Amino acid sequence: MVIFPGAQPRPRNTRLSVIAKAALRGKMGDQELTLIEKQIEAGKLSLADLNRMAEGGQGGSRGLLSLIFGTSSPHRPG
């Protein structure tokens, strides 16, 4: 399987906006997710920004990386 930004089908797409939207689905409303997706595509939000947003929504204990990968350590599998 090959994954890369813009790949089809969508589960193989590693574009930041796609991953962030999938990770935050259920934690934010559709309108918020659409706005976040547009801001990422416009270069207004980075991975660090998204991580801070996810931390705020999780009481500071988990960030976007842990929502995506199941771990907050970039070196240790979930």
Tens of pLDDT, residue by residue over 35-48, are 988 999 999 998 88
Is 41 a domain residue? yes
- Give me the half-sphere count of Cα atoms (radius 13 Å) on the Cβ side of residue 9: 1
Q: What is the pLDDT of residue 39?
A: 92
Tokens describing residue 39: 């801001």
pTM for this model (two decimals) = 0.62
74 domain residue, yes or no: no
Is 23 within a domain?
A: yes
48 part of a folded domain: yes
Range of the domain at 53: 10-67
Rounded to 5 degrees, φ, ψ at 13 are -85, 115
* Overall number of domains in the chain: 1
**26 falls within a domain:** yes
What confidence category does residue 23 fall into, taking pLDDT thresholds of 50, 70 and 90? confident
Confidence of residue 26 (pLDDT cuts 50, 70, 90): confident
Asked whether residue 72 is assigned to any structural domain, the reply reads no
